[in-house]
Amino acid sequence: MSDDAVPDFIRRLWRLPETPQQRGRKSTLDVETVVATAVQLADQGGLEAATLPKVAEELNVTAMSLYRHIGSKHELLQLMMDAASQPPGPEPAAADWREGLRSWAIDLWTLYQKRPWIPRVPIYRSPSGPNQTAWLERGLSQLASTALTAKEMLSGLTLLSGFVRQSALLQSELEEGRDGQDKAESERDYGAALYQVISAKRFPHLSQVLASEPLGDDPTNDDEPDRDFTDGLEVILDGLSVRISAAAL
């Protein structure tokens, strides 16, 4: 593929040489500077702090001058997400695919805890940048020794990455809703209040759950990722295990 065949957005994601400017004064900006500034603003104040006008103000330029380097506001978000999604250092050798994927998912979860604005970025495209591609490659390497087809491996990673992303987003939104209240206390208050207003006749299963396993009564280990996340992760890995075993027959 020639350089001319590479779409401009992909060129920006991979920091390929930009098309030389034909007229006017040479720009003092580049993709790296614009994206790094936007990521810094998002790290400091969330996604709403990294709008085009705010990035332009930080760089002391006009918002229109940024479009030459980032294409559009949607592309800026994708550039930010990839730049901020650096995979961790060399991964330890995993005993098997399950341990490897568990580690992969927990590392991705940890990234989202460090930068909670990342899962808030709308998904407009499949993973295309170098960092997102590195995450995909690492996930595929855990499944390469199984009998899954290429399509099945990609489907499994799509499911797993979507679960991690949604879990992190849900946790972040619930924390905002608690407004400083302790998680266990908030869950106990929620469970107790809901139990008082529902009827066993109309909601027999939920009523039984609330009566037998009160929310907020299951202590979590502060040294581990959130228990709701890890429990759900194991359910997905259980499902993949069944598929992998069936593929090996």
Express as a percent the part of the chain with pLDDT over 70.
90
pLDDT at site 183: 84
Does the global pTM surpass 0.85? yes
Domains of the chain: residue spans and CATH: 3-83 (1.10.10.60), 97-180+219-247 (1.10.357.10)
What DSSP string describes the chain? Answer: --GGGS-HHHHHHTTPPPPPP-SSSPPS--HHHHHHHHHHHHHHH-GGG--HHHHHHHHTS-GGGGHHHHSSHHHHHHHHHHHT----SSPPPPSSHHHHHHHHHHHHHHHHHH-TTGGGS---SSS-SHHHHHHHHHHHHHHTTSS--HHHHHHHHHHHHHHHHHHHHHHHHHHHHHTT--HHHHHHHHHHHHHHHS-TTTSHHHHHHHHHS-TT-S---TTSS-HHHHHHHHHHHHHHHHHHHHHT-
Mean pLDDT of the chain: 91
> Per-residue pLDDT tens for 131-173?
999 999 999 999 999 999 999 999 999 999 999 999 999 999 9
- The band of 22, judged by pLDDT with boundaries at 50, 70 and 90, is low
